[in-house]
Amino acid sequence: QLPTGLYKKVLVIMHDSILPYMNEPTLMIDFLTVAYGIGGAISLLALNGLFILIHQHNLEYPDFYKKLYSLLDPSIYHVKYRARFFHLTDLFLSSSHLPAYLVAAFIKRLSRLALTAPPEALLMIIPFICNLFRRHPACKVLVHRPNGPEDMSEDPYIMEEEDPSQSRALQSSLWEIQVCQ
């Protein structure tokens, strides 16, 4: 058990000052996965180290996207490490092999959270969502439905759902962007 302040200091420098100099960086797997599970700013900071272990050392983290999805809450727009979080989230969602339902869930949650976000956060979120649409064309159904907007009387998306696969985001529409206009 580390004090929160020390946890943050270690995690801020983990990806560039600790992991590259270790003979066995995989020894940090337990530390980083526990930190990722804590929540809040500590989870955000653990993302950098986990990314290195996943990308360069073949770490398998089965619930990684589920946990990343759960980190998207209203406080994400107000934390000190917001830019780092969105940079890493962009990296994690850049693979074209991700299922459309997963990316749609991230798009929908970010859009819903944008309704209460500060204006400066919108300058980051809208381009982020547009880039996700460019990389994952299957999600464009959120913007343009072949049957038109009449086929939905209420939004089927379940914001409270922890699992992105169960959120029903792909059956929804992106009405939140219209509201942000």
- Residue-level pLDDT at 149: 52
Token duo for residue 37: 């599970």
CA 18 – CA 137 distance, rounded (Å)? 38
Q: What is the pTM of this model?
A: 0.85
Tell whether the model's pLDDT for residue 132 goes beyond 90.
yes
pLDDT band at 84 (very low <50, low <70, confident <90, very high): confident
Tell whether the model's pLDDT for residue 85 goes beyond 90.
no
CA 104 – CA 96 distance, rounded (Å)? 13
Select the more confidently predicted residue: 74 or 146.
Answer: 74
The mean predicted confidence, pLDDT, of the chain is 88
pLDDT band at 151 (very low <50, low <70, confident <90, very high): low
Direct distance between the N- and C-terminal alpha carbons of the chain, in angstroms, rounded to an integer: 46
Query: Which of 5-9, 14-18, 133-137, 177-181 is the most confident on average?
Result: 133-137
Contact indicator for 14, 47 with CB cutoff of 8 Å:
no
DSSP string, 111-132: HHHHTTS-HHHHHHHHHHHHHH
- Residue-level pLDDT at 162: 92
Q: To the nearest whole percent, how much of the chain has pLDDT over 70?
A: 96
